[in-house]
Amino acid sequence: MQGTAEVVPVSSSAQLTLLPWLVGWEEPADRTTFAAALHAGSCAGMAWGLRADLRALSRADLARLAVTSVPAAAAGLALSERAEQRFGGRTRLAGLLAGAGLLLWAADRRPEDRPLDTAATAAAGLAQVAALVPGVSRSGATLTALRLLRVGRADAQRHTMLMSLPITAGAAALTVAKADRASLRAMTRPLMIGVPIAAVTAAMGTAAVRRHGRAPVTASALYRLAVAAAVVVRQRRTGAL
């Protein structure tokens, strides 16, 4: 689930929060650290799937990726916990999941008549800040911004995946480094299974998206709506709404 959701714009953090609750899976005691470790596995898989693109990057390309990662990195350090506390509830998370999916779907209807220029790259970097809000999705926010600016789907998708690597890897590494050692030891067995699976599925998903030139945006939007609807239905049945 994590590896696929890291590549397809359905918000991996929302899936890790909502799906276990919907299907009745037991959640780890330290969900944040568990999710960060899975993110690290997904990043490794994405990097493998993008290895040809990464080798082709020039120094200027690498510098551009580093600079455009600064807004999201700074905002994450300052606001990530506050955003999680404010928007991480299931009802708000479901609403954000659905709303961001519809916005991406609408943006993807735009023409493809603009190159991936400096202004579009900067806009994509700023859009990553929106991914601090649970349910938005880092890849979804970046892809939405680029498609709203009419950047071609293939260029937008490639740049979105490349941009997600430094921020996702950095956030995962920082979270794991700050985690309680006892909690990490308690999660060793599930992580020994989950991390490699996340890496393999992310690598396969990345290869598929690069082969087809784009992620399945319409299917992703429909999936987001379905998950959001399932959350609302269950909350009504349990009287949580």
Residue 190, pLDDT above cutoff 90: no
pLDDT above 90: residue 111: yes
3-state secondary structure of 51: helix
pLDDT digits (tens, 9 = 90+) for 196-206: 999 999 999 99
| Predicted pLDDT at 240 | 62
How many domains is the chain built from? 1
* pLDDT above 80: residue 28: no
What percentage of the chain has pLDDT greater than the value 70?
98
At residue 172, the pLDDT reads 85
Domain hosting 57: range is 2-238
pLDDT at 106: 95
Check if the beta carbon of residue 36 is closer than 8 Å to that of residue 171. yes
90 pLDDT band, cuts 50/70/90, is confident
Question: What's the whole-number average pLDDT of the chain?
Answer: 88
pTM of the model: 0.85
